[in-house]
Amino acid sequence: MTNEGQVASVIEKVKSRAKSVQKTQEIVRAADLPLGRILPGDCIEAMRSLPSASVDLVFADPPYNLQLGGDLARPDGSHVDAVTDHWDQFDSMAAYDKFTREWLTEARRVLKPDGGLWVIGSYHNIFRVGAILQDLGFWILNDIVWRKTNPMPNFKGTRFTNAHETLIWASMGEKSRYHFNYRAMKTLNDELQMRSDWVLPICSGGERLKENGKKAHPTQKPEALLYRVLLATTEKGDVVLDPFFGTGTTGAVATRLGRQWIGCEREASYRSVAEKRIAKELPLDESALTTMQSPRSAPKVAFGAVVEGGLIPPGSAVFDKKRRWIATVRADGSLEWQGKTGSIHGLGKELQGAPSCNGWTFWHFEKAGDVQPIDAARQLYLLAAED
């Protein structure tokens, strides 16, 4: 072996060892995590009990500090459920900023280097939260506008109707890696790129949790909102932390989608409702959890591997859908047509005179009288590899 070869071999061993150590550390951290539990008490103290770099995603719905000066009534005199609870009240903006900085600091500590942060808020607090998380080193990836299809009207008629809330999605830093299931979001959005304005209804009807005929929580978030967040930025088995767990929307959706979760909630009444709610939730089966993958994250399979595996053996005929060109598969995975040779992509491109060609969908083969694109053989290869 040459010196260059020896160096390359050592580098690969070091990388392999580093990955093994990292995986072991993650397993140890996971064993120390209170998965599927709601931690009581102050969220900052609760987060301090968690290991560093142990969480894949933080979804936070902190107090909005609405600064309401009294009861809110409809024109007919009936009372409007608004956030006048003590947990949403702070003595000053400075006190709220201090609280925000402390919980965000802990969130940053427990997140993995490639972890993500979501924070939702209203105009009362989201700009202050955004500035503080930037000060702490988070990097904003998107601000999402949740546009409510059925917002509460402005009963006094003194301002525009508050018809939206804002979510901030951030990574750990400008150069940090983060997770985004782009293809799944495009599929969810009827094959259009998912935009940063989400039109979803507020939590109402049968989804709204009640205790003794009253709302269990004044600001319960709709499950559709958490479904989109978790599907977009986590994978099956990832750990999601919600420092302001409330009545457990994050835990319920995480359970359904096969994600692990940890909650922090100081209000005993909310914890009780959340525990009963999540206990009824069942995870989706494996096939339902599978999502579309982006080309970058999809497993790479060479056509040669399909040939080598015998799914389309050497000597087989492959052809375009209209059978204008019938090529022969060669032992190395290349194709030959009337003296012209090339890869499935290259030969397809040349024969059509096109700027590019996806050979997997352009070329077809026949098996037991059934004509299929050669991509069908690739999918069979992937299924066999998973088994």
More confident residue, 204 or 320: 320
Q: Tell me which residue range forms the domain holding 313.
A: 303-386
Same domain for 41 and 122? yes
Same domain for 308 and 277? no
Is the residue at 73 inside a domain? Answer: no
pLDDT on residue 187: 87
SS3 string, the chain, reads CCHHHHHHHHHHHHHHHHHHHHHHHHHHHHHCCCCCEEEECCHHHHHHCCCCCCEEEEEECCCCCCCCCCCEECCCCCEECCCCCHHHCCCCHHHHHHHHHHHHHHHHHHEEEEEEEEEEECCCCHHHHHHHHHHCCCEEEEEEEEEECCCCCCCCCCCCCCCEEEEEEEECCCCCCCCCCHHHHHHHCCCCCCCCEEEECCCCHHHCCEECCEECCCCCCCHHHHHHHHHHHCCCCCEEEECCCCCCHHHHHHHHCCCEEEEEECCHHHHHHHHHHHHCCCCCCHHHHCCCCCCCCCCCCCHHHHHHCCCCCCCCEEECCCCCCEEEECCCCCEEECCEEECHHHHHHHHHCCCCCCHHHHCEEEECCEEEECHHHHHHHHHHHHC
CATH number at residue 169: 3.40.50.150
Span 177-187, pLDDT tens digits: 999 999 889 88
- Res 207 pLDDT > 90: no
Report how many domains make up the chain.
Answer: 2
The pTM score is 0.69
Span 291-300, pLDDT tens digits: 766 666 666 7
- Domain boundary residue among 288, 314, 343? 288
Is the residue at 141 inside a domain? Answer: yes
**Six-digit token string for 248:** 């457990």
Percent of residues, the chain, with pLDDT higher than 70? 82
Is the residue at 97 inside a domain? Answer: yes
- The rounded distance, in Å, linking the Cα atoms of 372 and 361 is 9
- Res 364 pLDDT > 90: yes
